Amino acid sequence: MFSRLHTFIGGTHIDAAKNLTAELPIEAIPAPEKVVLPLSMHIGAPAKPLVQPGEKVYLGQKIAEAQGAVSSNIHASVSGMVVGSERRFLPNGTVAACMVIKNDGQDTLDPTITPRESGLVLPPDEIRQLLAEKGIVGMGGATFPTHVKYAPQSSGRIIDTVILNGIECEPFITADYRILIEHADEVIRGLKYFLKASLANKGIIAIEDNKPRAIELFNQLTADDPNISVVVCPEKYPQGSERHLIYAVTGRVVPERALPSAVGVIVDNVATAMQAALAVKDDLPCYERIVTVSGNAVHKPGNYRVRIGTLYSHLVEQGAQGLKNDPARIISGGPMMGFSLHSLDFPVLKGTGGLLLFDHQSELAKLPPENPCVRCGKCVDTCPMFLEPTQLFKAVKRRDWPAALAGHVGTCIECGSCAYNCPAHIPLVQYIRMGKQFILTDGFGGHNPYYKK
């Protein structure tokens, strides 16, 4: 009898390029002189400020409150004084209101923070309340408020499985891998909180087969727990995509425009699980995270524990020991799904997992000219969503929005597999992303059936 292969159809094999930082332990960098905390570093409504310029704040104090059904609290990542508010660009190109706090260097912890002996004795609703109060969001990049995922399903659907995503398939990024190695106990504890909050009876930790050390460690730590298992997935990009991970691990298919809860599953990142463990047991809010800094333009690539709101320039100087060469390309996130930046004047957000800097000698800094489509079909073969990227690109280019919708442009997960394999070097993802943004913001005259004012 053959065992099921835990993978998906489509995708591509790419050089993981994780050797620069995979075996480097996490290092804490000094907190900066000031932090810039956007009120919109999560999916949903911006948080509402609770403090004004001139007020003193503690480390971990709630400074902005969630608004609406989908939103998240924001907490001070240093103690000090609120010195102003400003609007600035975020790495993804959006503009957000930000609170600026001047660090007093004391790291005086909010006196209301009270650790508890065990979080597992808490009822599910209290765990969900703590996840909300402490500002826990998806730290794999999506930044969806975690407490919303675990809210009781209005449809009455039962959640039976929680999957922890330890795949980390983006090249260069190793922050999650180091969390698996160095914070395994917190990851498992966080998963147990998730299981209790969702009333699920099955927890799965999914890890790619290129991480044998982590696989062995978690097999040992979960051997005596009948409710938690480790599933090893073959290395392939984008295995970490939520929909594809669910299919690879459970065989369930999430319908188009539906959430994982539709098939009884919740997926969370291992960094989110670690942060949830700190929130529930130690009463600590989300005010820091692990970020990989890599690339050939920095002196010291590594994995760094950094305060939320720290500017990238401080992270590079204090963590990576500055620039070795002038960067020709700066990427927030990974090379496949990240965002190219023009400077380091951007803050670390809750969803920031990596910062990559490449000089002129790097292949990743070179952008070949776009050529006409040769109709090879490679983009179609590798698309894990079974789309036709070349047709979507052509529809967007001629502003044929009905054709783009008919081609299911909204289903694209922007993984970059198509562009990576395109011999004509067409920036397919950029075209598709631009088309989706135009459709969502304008609705092209009200003809979009998915667009709502």
Residue 152: the pLDDT is 84
The encoded tokens of residue 125 equal 């609703």
Q: Do domains 124-282 and 288-365 have the same CATH topology?
A: no
Q: Mind listing the pLDDT tens digit for each residue in 67-90?
A: 999 999 999 999 999 999 999 999
What is the SS3 assignment for the chain? CCCCCCCCCCCECCCCCCCCCCCCCEEECCCCCEEEEECCCCCCCCCEECCCCCCEECECCEEEECCCCCCCCEECCCCEEEEEEEEEECCCCCEEEEEEEEECCCCCECCCCCCCCCCCCCCHHHHHHHHHHCCCECCCCCCCEHHHHCCCCCCCCCCCEEEEEECCCCCCCCHHHHHHHHCHHHHHHHHHHHHHHHCCCEEEEEEECCCHHHHHHHHHHCCCCCCEEEEEECCCECCCCHHHHHHHHHCCCCCCCCCHHHHCEEEEEHHHHHHHHHHHHHCCCCCEEEEEEECCCECCCEEEEEECCCEHHHHHHHCCCCECCCCCEEEECCCCCCEEECCCCCECCCCCCEEEEECCCCHHHCCCCCCCCCCCCHHHHHCCCCCCHHHHHHHHHCCCHHHHHHCCHHHCCCCCHHHHHCCCCCCHHHHHHHHHHHHHHHCHHHCCCCCCC
| Binding annotation | 373, 376, 379, 383, 412, 415, 418, 422
Greater pLDDT, 452 or 327: 327
**CA–CA distance, 275 with 318 (Å, rounded to integer):** 23
Report whether pLDDT(448) > 60: no
The structural domains of the chain, with segments of one domain joined by +, span 29-103, 124-282, 288-365, 378-446
Contacts of 430 (CB under 8 A, 6+ apart): 419
Phi, psi of 386 (to 5 degrees): 60, 35
User: At 156, is the pLDDT very low, low, confident or very high (cuts 50, 70, 90)?
Assistant: confident
> Would you call the peptide bond into 389 cis, given omega within 30 degrees of 0 as the criterion?
no
pLDDT, average across residues 45-58: 98
User: At 141, is the pLDDT very low, low, confident or very high (cuts 50, 70, 90)?
Assistant: confident
User: Any idea which of 224-238, 303-317, 321-335, 438-452 has the lowest mean pLDDT?
Assistant: 438-452
Residue from 238, 294, 247 nearest 419 by CA = 238
Report whether pLDDT(128) > 70: yes
CA distances from 447 to 210, 399, 402, 451 (A): 46, 13, 8, 8
User: At 4, is the pLDDT very low, low, confident or very high (cuts 50, 70, 90)?
Assistant: low
Greater pLDDT, 342 or 2: 342
pLDDT, average across residues 288-298: 98
Residue 2: the pLDDT is 42
Greater pLDDT, 186 or 438: 186
Superfamily, domain 124-282: NADH-ubiquinone oxidoreductase 51kDa subunit (3.40.50.11540)
Residue 452: the pLDDT is 43
Report whether pLDDT(444) > 60: no
pLDDT, average across residues 387-412: 95
Mean pLDDT of the chain: 94
CA distances from 169 to 191, 206, 254 (A): 21, 12, 20
**Domain formed by 288-365, architecture:** Roll (3.10)
Q: How many CB atoms lie under 10 A from the CB of residue 15? A: 8
Residue 262: the pLDDT is 93
Greater pLDDT, 155 or 198: 198
pLDDT, average across residues 192-203: 97
Report whether pLDDT(139) > 50: yes
The encoded tokens of residue 166 equal 């330890």
The encoded tokens of residue 83 equal 């010195």
User: At 451, is the pLDDT very low, low, confident or very high (cuts 50, 70, 90)?
Assistant: very low
| Binding annotation for [4Fe-4S] cluster | 373, 376, 379, 383, 412, 415, 418, 422
CA distances from 175 to 37, 189, 357 (A): 21, 19, 16
Domain 29-103 has CATH 2.40.50: yes
Report whether pLDDT(1) > 50: no
Report whether pLDDT(450) > 60: no
Give the bridge partners for 204, in sequence order: 163, 229
Answer yes or no: are the C-beta atoms of 426 and 371 closer than 8 Å.
yes
Q: Mind listing the pLDDT tens digit for each residue in 210-267?
A: 999 999 999 999 999 999 999 999 999 999 999 999 999 999 999 988 999 999 999 9
Greater pLDDT, 442 or 101: 101
Contacts of 322 (CB under 8 A, 6+ apart): 298, 299, 316
